[in-house]
Amino acid sequence: MKRRALCVAGALVLGHASALVAQPRDPISRYILDIRATTLSLPTTEGWTPTVAGGVDVPGRGLGIDVGAHVYPVRLGPVTLGVGGAWTRVGGSYEPGETAPAGARAVTTTFTGLVPQLSFNFGHRLGWSYLSGGLGRSLVESVPDGVTAPVEEWSKTVNYGGGARWFLRDRVAFSLDLRFHQLSLRPATATRPGGGRIKQLALSAGVAFR
């Protein structure tokens, strides 16, 4: 599914880029602010989530918000370089099923990401597509309801993906982004085993302002 999503995103970005580059319009804006709703695949493997009783599962997907800001200082022919970053906060919860033992609790998982990004943008002032990536940090917290969340360390995170912005008005655009967050190994603690490298897929849509 992730490979298919990446292929679709690549086709969208490249196709949109080709159409936009072919049009001689005003250059890309100097800055942009994105505010988007996002859905993200949450970790479900050992070391990232608590051990649960039979009949209880952990959430595999969450909903949240993605906020980003970018500036575009350099234009090299058809490509405009951008520098910025994004903050993502997503949460999901899974309630115990009917077959769960008495006293079983729902599990809630939250993902917080703070990632800088370097982007390659193709298009003009009325709309552009981009490919971007960067190295930042993410925090995953997954606990049964009613249990105090342990203090967790932030994980190094590589993010990469692409998207596009289409301006509906001079200062307001529809914004779409497809992104992978690849988290590094999570060290073991006294209360849980270590977690392996994981890759989370996020799809975000919302508005952009300039």
Mean pLDDT along residues 53-72? 87
What pLDDT is recorded for position 19? 45
What pLDDT is recorded for position 21? 42
pTM: 0.81
The tens digit of pLDDT for each residue in 119-158 reads 999 999 999 999 999 999 999 999 888 777 778 889 999 9
Domain count, the chain: 1
CATH label of the domain that carries residue 35: 2.40.160.20
Residue 8 pLDDT greater than 60, yes or no: no
The tens digit of pLDDT for each residue in 18-34 reads 444 444 478 898 999 99
Mean pLDDT along residues 84-89? 97
Range of the domain at 119: 2-209
Between 72 and 18, where is the model more confident? 72
What pLDDT is recorded for position 70? 98
Mean pLDDT along residues 169-184? 96
Mean pLDDT along residues 186-210? 92
From residue 118, alpha-carbon distances to 59, 64, 74, 81, 133 in Å are 31, 23, 12, 7, 6
DSSP the chain: -HHHHHHHHHHHHHHHHHHHHTS--PPPPSEEEEEEEEEEEPP-SBTTB----TT----SEEEEEEEEEEEEEEEETTEEEEEEEEEEEEEEEE---TTSPTT---EEEEEEEEEEEEEEEEEETTEEEEEEEEEEEEEEEEEETTSPPPP---EEEEEEEEEEEEESSSSEEEEEEEEEEEE--B---SSS--B--EEEEEEEEEEEE-
What pLDDT is recorded for position 146? 76
